[in-house]
């Protein structure tokens, strides 16, 4: 019985070590500065800082990976979250969005923050301070509503 337990333990350790050979792809390649959200929308410094602190790790190529992002199995979860997050909202490639879609993405981001659905509940404990304060959310939402699609708005004309 001891031999079976010892063999099982060694097998589990070896599988864990072999799993570490997989390197996740977070696609953190350098971005074109002119294509980013900051360059296209020119948000207030307060809004920009809040978004960088709360959103950019999953919704941008400019985010940073924590130490556990390279350790299996958490790397698998993070890689999937970043891939799905950037598919829905990517601050690095804002120039890919039409003016209408840009306004829609901003309103959706506002709604998700107001409903406390972003950042995700399991992201918050490992990243203290990532949850924006209610007044920051209100400021962002007011700004986002002012960005609604208007062909004469200077910020949105630049997106065409």
For 30-81, the pLDDT digits (tens) are 678 899 999 999 999 999 999 999 999 889 988 888 888 888 888 888 888 8
Q: What is the pTM of this model?
A: 0.76
Asked if the model's pLDDT at residue 121 lies above 80, the reply is yes
Q: What is the pLDDT of residue 160?
A: 33
Spatial distance between the Cα atoms of 96 and 92, rounded to a whole number of angstroms: 9
For 86-118, what is each residue's pLDDT tens digit?
A: 899 999 999 989 989 999 999 999 999 999 999
- Helices and strands in the chain: count of H runs, count of E runs: 8, 0
Q: What pLDDT band is residue 25 in, cutting at 50, 70 and 90?
A: low
pLDDT of amino acid 132 = 95
Preceding omega of 73 cis (within 30 degrees of 0): yes
Instruction: Write down the residue that tokens 């799905």 correspond to.
Output: 84
Report d(CA 115, CA 98) in Å as an integer.
Answer: 26
Greatest CA separation for the chain: 78
In the three-class reduction of DSSP (H, G, I as helix; E, B as strand; rest coil), residue 107 is classed as helix
Other beta carbons within 10 Å of 92: 24
Long-range contact list for 33-40, CB < 8 A, 24+ apart? 34/95, 35/92, 35/93, 35/94, 35/95, 35/96, 36/62, 36/91, 36/92, 36/93, 36/94, 36/95, 37/91, 37/92, 37/94, 38/91, 39/94, 40/94, 40/95, 40/102, 40/155, 40/158, 40/159
């Amino acid at each position: 019985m001891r031999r079976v337990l010892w063999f099982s333990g060694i097998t589990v350790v070896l599988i864990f070590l072999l799993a570490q050979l997989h390197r996740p792809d977070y696609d953190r390649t350098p971005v074109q500065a002119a294509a980013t959200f900051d360059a296209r929308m020119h948000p207030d410094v307060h809004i920009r800082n809040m978004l960088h602190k709360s959103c950019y790790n999953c919704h941008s190529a400019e985010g940073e990976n924590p130490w556990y992002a390279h350790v299996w199995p958490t790397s698998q979860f993070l890689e999937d979250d970043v891939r799905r997050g950037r598919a829905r909202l990517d601050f690095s490639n804002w120039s890919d969005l039409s003016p209408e879609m840009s306004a829609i993405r901003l309103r959706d981001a506002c709604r998700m923050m107001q409903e406390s659905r972003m950042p995700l509940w399991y992201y918050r404990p490992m990243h203290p301070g990532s949850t924006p304060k209610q007044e920051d959310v209100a400021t962002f939402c007011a700004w986002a509503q002012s960005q609604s699609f208007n062909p004469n708005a200077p910020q949105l004309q630049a997106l065409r």
